[in-house]
Amino acid sequence: MVEEQGLSEIHTPVMLERTIELLAPALEQPGAVLVDATLGMGGHAEAFLTRFPELVLIGLDRDLDALAIAGERLSAFGDRVRLVHTVYDRFAEAIEGIGVESVQAILFDLGVSSLQLDRVERGFSYSKDAPLDMRMDATSELTAERILAEYSEADLRRIFRDYGEERLAPRYAQRIVQRRQEEPIVRSAQLVEIITAATPVAIQRKGHPAKRVFQALRIEVNQELAVLERAIPEALDSLAVGGRIVVLAYQSLEDRLVKRCLAAASSSSAPAGLPVELPEHAPQLKLLVRGAELASEEEKQRNPRSIPVRLRAAERVRAAV
């Protein structure tokens, strides 16, 4: 049995009240459907189901452990909850499988979950020794250990640079390839030792030297950016007119991708110089916040995991053609 106290200790939903405030206008109509595309342990979901007594929630997650915990946590809401084991770029397939064509609200709370971070054996953290796994879905095949063992030096350099925005990517890739010729790299402590030894002391003083490498490996293992790039447009296509979407992103690569998708859908597609904008060129979305909103200082103090969050939100104002 999942203890409520334990859940609250390891999972505090980020920007919960602001998320509810933004999605509420779309959820107050009878029969509204909210898709929580990153269900996790169900913290946001539980709050929405409690605040909106007629709401139906579809929860998606690739992590079977998270689905089990959320299923227990949300069991009191009965058939108002439908849970689906899937990656969120299969958004349309997931809701169609439940018999839903369009939805009134969508929430994406991106990145690694509290459950994944806090369970040492999952291997997401550079601060604790564990097997180099990093899979959000334990049924998938690719692990961080496999990447470090099988990727070429050029590919390691690429993912550290592109997904970790790591300036020392060439040095780290070279050292990893050298070390794996001597012994398999199978634990996080081994990787941390390699990265630390390759990092100048002056740079180490600015933060943990392995942080960006671990981020890059996690993104590659779970194909997070590729999945997100497919998922946002697919989710928007499922949003009813008047429906709203909120996205919480925790690192700049995700946030830039979300910003680009929402900006494109909230801009006119009319060719330059067209004297009159035709209806099919009008924006499909209206942005609900200026730029990206940050958590309040009070929330950052209370919940450190809210410090890097960037919130973006939009409302569908025109049906897709």
Q: Where are the domains of the chain?
A: 4-109+224-316, 126-222
- To the question of whether residue 99 is assigned a binding role by annotation, the answer is no
Half-sphere exposure at residue 31, Cβ-oriented, CA atoms within 13 angstroms: 3
Task: Indicate the length of the chain as a whole number.
Answer: 321
| CA-angle at 189, arms to 144 and 61, nearest 5° | 40
CB 33 within 8 A of CB 58: yes
* pLDDT value for 125: 79
Half-sphere exposure at residue 157, Cβ-oriented, CA atoms within 13 angstroms: 9
Model confidence pLDDT, tens digit, residues 15-44: 999 999 999 999 998 889 999 999 999 999
Model confidence pLDDT, tens digit, residues 45-66: 999 999 999 999 999 999 998 9
- To the question of whether residue 65 is assigned a binding role by annotation, the answer is no
- To the question of whether residue 133 is assigned a binding role by annotation, the answer is no
The three-class DSSP label of residue 206 is coil
Instruction: Report the C-alpha gap between 124 and 211 in whole angstroms.
Output: 10
* pLDDT value for 17: 96
Instruction: Report the C-alpha gap between 182 and 250 in whole angstroms.
Output: 36
- To the question of whether residue 5 is assigned a binding role by annotation, the answer is no
pTM: 0.88
Q: Which H or E element spans position 264?
A: helix 252-265
Question: Sign of torsion, CA 37 88 307 145?
Answer: positive
Which of 6-10, 74-78, 80-84, 87-91 shows the lowest mean pLDDT across its residues? Answer: 6-10
**Between 2 and 225, the higher pLDDT residue:** 225
- To the question of whether residue 164 is assigned a binding role by annotation, the answer is no
Q: Is the pLDDT of residue 313 over 90?
A: yes
Instruction: Report the C-alpha gap between 290 and 311 in whole angstroms.
Output: 10
Q: For domain 4-109+224-316, is the CATH number 3.40.50.150?
A: yes
**Between 207 and 22, the higher pLDDT residue:** 22
CATH class of the 126-222 domain in this structure: mainly alpha
Model confidence pLDDT, tens digit, residues 87-120: 999 999 999 999 999 999 999 999 776 665 666 5
* pLDDT value for 6: 47
* pLDDT value for 274: 60
Q: Angle at which helices 43-51 and 16-27 pack, to 10 degrees?
A: 50
Least Cα distance to 228 among 55, 113, 88 occurs for: 88
